[in-house]
Chain A
Amino acid sequence: MTRIIVVTSGKGGVGKTTTSAAVAMGLAQRGHRTVVIDFDVGLRNIDLIMGCERRVVYDFINVINGEANINQAMIRDKRCNDLYILPTSQTKDKEALTRKGVGKVLDELSESFDYIVCDSPAGIEHGAKMAMYFADDAIVVTNPEVSSVRDSDRMLGILASKSRRAENNQEPIKEYLLLTRYCPQRVKQGEMLHVDDVQEILSLHLLGVIPESRSVLSASNAGKPVILDEKSDAGDAYADVVERYLGQELPHRFLEVQRKGLLGRLFGG
């Protein structure tokens, strides 16, 4: 059975696209046929993060409008044969995403893929609702600060009521919490919410904690999902997230302040 995963948050800039790219790559690396879809019409991003922006011919909206078929629009990742990217349009209006059109594309993809990762736009407007409507699982990306936590809570409320599963009285969407840009140093100083506090407020299953890391930005700029960066703690944390999503139980890492060794302190990390 295909699982449709929505990566959502409510708030912008918390790491949805980074997470979508990393999770999709992680699933594909483990041999699952995966496609990642950009739902942020007009603010196209995932193709940049995945490093395939120069290969975009047709997009998601073209497929919905029947101007191209799905195989023409999907881009196969050069690093991993099981990963496909369905970019969105930079020029069209977000109203082009119709429930019927999106449903048809997802149905078609469900025939040949194991996982469909939907990268949701920020906000609770049309695009975000379309991205979550068909979902089976939701990864709610949250930063350790109060406004992000509240927005995530709002998002969870919408997930519980405005989805296909809710409307058909099926088992509700499985919700996972992913805490990103976590900085143990700042948590210790009381500038950031502790992971336990966030979890208590949202009362959700914690899928992982991604530490704040410079490697995320450089990986994005290089068009390479951070999960491929084996030297990065954020990449390691995303690898754990994928394993946990697939059912493995792993302890949470990167929650404590890392003590640098003498050499590390002398030469910088």
Chain B
Amino acid sequence: MSVNLSEESAQVSAFELKGSTFTLPLLKLLVPDMELVSGQLAHRVEQAPDFFRNTPVIIDLQSLASGDTGVDFPLLVGLLRGYGMIPIGVRGGNRSQNDAAHAMELAILADGRPPKSERSSSSKTTERSSRPETTQETVVVSATAPAAGTEAGSRMITRPVRSGQRVYAPVGDLVILSQVSSGAEVLAAGNIHVYGALRGRALAGVKGNRECRIFCQDLQAELVSVAGNYRISEHIEDSKRGKPVQIYLKDDALIIDEL
């Protein structure tokens, strides 16, 4: 995940081909039983529907790779799509599973580790990948699993965010220890904390999480938004300007409270 600094390119090229790293949710299948998966997934999506909307998902098959367990990919893909997710690939599967996934036009992602033969799937529900590659956050389909953690994707910025710069934390919180200049934009799927003056735009909960908040030391923002509910500078009360505040949603209304 890199800081996204948008800049006009000086040369006129049609495209650039680049490698990039993304943090994606990982759906780790622990049982091949699609009915069980379906029921628990429905429950999970109900808790945070916005989190899953249009979210690319990788299916992890490591726990099922040992036996010759068949996975009903057409059903699984349909299920995920039905909840708004975009399944893009699998990893850690055995040969026949990979072939089946390939038939569903899922990408087969390389996995550094050889599939382990024995895995205690009931006790170890959450497991973070040790590889720095595509996956850091784990969504586990299991009744006992804790809620998907967000700290894995949090970003911290120590230098000022200048006019024309854009910093985006696609997963988790965004912490800025310096100022955000007028004409700059900071976005996060989670909360935003600004410990300098906030003079630019701040958008928290950009993936729809309505519980997210913006915290800042000195509110002079051009625009603040939580989960798409925004307020422009003109509509921020003078009494709140220059103050340390928190901004959050309450019944569809954006509340600005002094801290």
Whether a CB of chain A sits under 8 angstroms from the CB of B179 is yes
Contact A161/B7 with A156-B162, A203-B178 known, Cβ cut-off 8 Å: yes
Q: In the assembly, what is the distance between CA of A156 and CA of B181, in Å?
A: 11
Q: Hey, what's the 0/1 contact readout for A120-140 against B, CB within 8 Å counting as 1?
A: 000011100100000000000
Whether a CB of chain A sits under 8 angstroms from the CB of B10 is yes
Closest residue to A172 on the B side, CB-wise?
Answer: B159
Q: In the assembly, what is the distance between CA of A231 and CA of B160, in Å?
A: 39
Whether a CB of chain B sits under 8 angstroms from the CB of A150 is yes
Whether a CB of chain B sits under 8 angstroms from the CB of A160 is yes
Q: In the assembly, what is the distance between CA of A217 and CA of B161, in Å?
A: 36
Q: In the assembly, what is the distance between CA of A184 and CA of B161, in Å?
A: 30
Interface size range of chain A in the complex: 10 to 19
Contact of B182 among A129, A153, A162 (CB under 8 A): A153
Whether a CB of chain B sits under 8 angstroms from the CB of A43 is no
| Contact across chains for A157 and B182 when beta carbons are under 8 A apart | no
Q: In the assembly, what is the distance between CA of A172 and CA of B7, in Å?
A: 18
For B10, the chain A residues whose CB sits under 8 A away are 125-126, 129
Contact A154/B162 with A125-B10, A126-B10, A201-B181 known, Cβ cut-off 8 Å: yes
Contact of B181 among A124, A153, A158 (CB under 8 A): A153
Within 8 A of A (CB), among B174-195: 178-179, 181-184
| Contact across chains for B164 and A157 when beta carbons are under 8 A apart | yes
For B197, the chain A residues whose CB sits under 8 A away are 200
Q: Hey, what's the 0/1 contact readout for A183-225 against B, CB within 8 Å counting as 1?
A: 0000000000000000011010000000000000000000000
Contact A160/B7 with A153-B181, A153-B182, A154-B183 known, Cβ cut-off 8 Å: no
Q: Hey, what's the 0/1 contact readout for A147-177 against B, CB within 8 Å counting as 1?
A: 0001001101110111000000000100000
Contact A162/B7 with A157-B184, A203-B178, A203-B196 known, Cβ cut-off 8 Å: yes
Top 8 closest pairs, chain A to chain B, by CB: A157-B162, A153-B163, A154-B163, A157-B165, A154-B164, A161-B5, A153-B181, A126-B10
List 30 A-B pairs, Cβ < 8 Å: A129-B10, A150-B163, A153-B162, A153-B163, A153-B164, A153-B181, A153-B183, A154-B162, A154-B163, A154-B164, A154-B183, A156-B162, A157-B5, A157-B161, A157-B162, A157-B164, A157-B165, A157-B181, A157-B184, A158-B7, A160-B162, A160-B165, A161-B5, A161-B7, A162-B7, A201-B181, A201-B182, A203-B160, A203-B178, A203-B196
B: residues with CB less than 8 A from A are 5, 7-8, 10, 159-165, 178-179, 181-184, 196-197, 199
Besides the contacts A156-B162, A160-B159, A203-B196, what 15 more A-B pairs have beta carbons closer than 8 Å?
A124-B8, A126-B10, A153-B163, A153-B164, A153-B181, A154-B163, A154-B183, A157-B161, A157-B164, A157-B181, A158-B7, A161-B5, A200-B197, A201-B199, A203-B178
